[in-house]
Structure 1
């Protein structure tokens, strides 16, 4: 375990934001604020002297906006970046572009009551910093940068808290025998998943099985994320709505802030979207989706777990495998964060461990084989 502290730079044109976040981090063991900057140009001047492990970045700033700065960083020296900005001020589309440009996470802050929000959200910000320090980032098509040594530090208290399992939404039970030959692909991912999903879904043909997806993402972004993927893919991609049919050539992404389950009515698959408690600290939860797929699709399913922090989805993928599904985990070298796949592999939940670029071909091959 490394004793080196995570070096953080805060780039925000609000003195209040810089002050409150810095004060919260000063009290945190293992994290050090190496500098603050009121805009990206001041930040670049400081970066010439020393480089942080994690950057907290606002989007709307003077002289250079945060999105342009983020793209410059990722092109020159990929670094974990946490966006801390207001969707109301910035626009959800711009924040989506930040995720696509390589930001590892977004903290949504309000336009008003900012000081109280930042003080209340201090633990979440600290957890996001620790998670970011464990990520490896790069632009699409570039090799992943090596994580900082601080990535080996223990998870923060938040990560070790008692938490709900999938039982809170759907009790464990034996798989039912599907009265259909239709196949279902279930995908779960988190940090780094926006790029990983694009890499997979854009390479799938419109004849592929129906796809259900959980990507850990705030509720303001899933619909826009689905729209962006839909514009890039030959398959249909959209945010899932309650009772939507799961059908060939269609991918349904769980809406942020809601759980999504696969259900079956006779020979037809559909989704149920519902509220409920966090599961594995997430809503939607991959474990909830995977358990429902194991229950209602059984051996007709293919499960994929990709890049993400934590272990959400690992137990669910094992349930899918035990129910007869084919299962795939993304390999460590191609993951931004090798958390969720690693835990699934440790449980023996993955039939195959594959680089990201090989997953689309594997899905097509398994789908075609099971169609025979």
Structure 2
């Protein structure tokens, strides 16, 4: 049994709904003790009815994790997050999201502003017990994972500029496809990493992020606005072309399949979506994507495992490694939860375990290797102008 410390984790819940506050109280009274020891003991140290009370309670109660509603009076959840970023930047925050498009977009904004994870509010359950179970299955593992990560890194820097487990790149197959797997902390990590990829990125990118379909479409739209590359929610039969990022829709597994007839290169591939059974309790599952990439592209596959809870994608990453492909992992210091990348790194199959701010450069170095990179048109123009100015004695 893992030792989670002597005292229980202290959880603060902020919600303007009396019903939700009641569910939270009952949840931690009935499930917080966890006598089997599968998770740390937890207790609800306080509740807040609005954003102002929440900030005051954070300072007074010093919780280990905050469960935060988005829609509250006086200060809403997003405004609370802005304050916490300055006043308590190390506090893990889990947002409670409603089952609406507005709730999804607000949740994504909250993740960008520093929240670590989210849970869906229990709706549609037939009784209180069902609602309680639904919330418990989402919330308790997330609390445990985030608090565990905070305890490990407390007092240490999260800047992550030191590379760990790096091996020198060797001459091998040219990279033809990049596949990425993420879960907890993924949306924020993608929003920091993907915009750093250049507009002439030479291969397609396929991403599995553990999220409901309500979220994956808005997430793709959000990333498309801040990236040079085109980011879309994947659809069945989509042709894989360089410069495009495909995100698996929630509740559908995504694989890469043979290219459609008539394409200039059969090996280019296409998107295949299906709704087979959950794998590793997930749909979409990273393993489905990684296995299919290994089968089709072999040593031309680059698989990147980023922040996330659990072990989804480990077996698929092993398949990529066995076929001669490249496997990379995000490091512990910059991961919200070092579950998925940690399993890959600890398995000894990662060519490099890198901080978040180094991942984009690593992807570009490895995908451009063996290719002639063309200089952007505007850059050629700038050089031409500079040369003319030198010739005429202006420089």
Shared topology, TM-score over 0.5?
yes
Following superposition of structure 1 onto structure 2, how do residues 132-211 of structure 1 map, counting pairs within 5 Å? 132-136=146-150, 144=158, 183-208=176-201, 209-211=203-205
- State the distance in 1 between where 2:114 and 2:189 align: 11
Q: Look up the SS of the partner of 1:202 in the other structure.
A: helix
Partner of 2:141: 127
Mapped partners of 1:302, 1:256: distance in 2:
23
Given the alignment of the two structures, is residue 6 of structure 1 paired with residue 18 of structure 2, yes or no? no
Other-structure match for 1:295: 295
- Structure 2 residue aligned with 1:77: 88
Q: If you compute each CA radius of gyration, which structure gives the higher value, 1 or 2?
A: 2
Q: TM-score, normalized by length of structure 2?
A: 0.79
Contact 2:254–2:272 (Cα < 8 Å) also in 1: yes
CA offset at residue 111 of structure 1? 5.7
Gap change, CA 1:261 and 1:89, over 3 Å in 2 = closer
Deviation at 1:112, TM superposition (A): 6.0
* Equivalent residue for 1:213, pick from 207, 215, 229: 207
Q: Is the 8 A contact 1:82 1:132 kept in 2?
A: no
Q: CA RMSD in A?
A: 2.4
Matches for 1:243-322 after TM superposition, within 5 Å: 243-265=237-259, 266-322=266-322
Q: Which residue does the alignment assign to 2:44?
A: 33
Cα deviation digits, residues 33-86 of structure 1 (max 9, x gap): 100111111222222322111111111111111111122112321211111131
8 Å Cα contact 2:78-2:110 kept in structure 1: yes
SS of match in other structure, 1:188: strand
Shift of residue 207, structure 1, vs aligned partner: 2.1
Q: Is 1:358–2:361 an aligned residue pair?
A: no
Asked if the contact 2:97/2:104 (under 8 Å) is kept, the reply is no
Which residue is 1:337 aligned to?
A: 337
Structure 1 runs not aligned, ≥5 long: 146-179
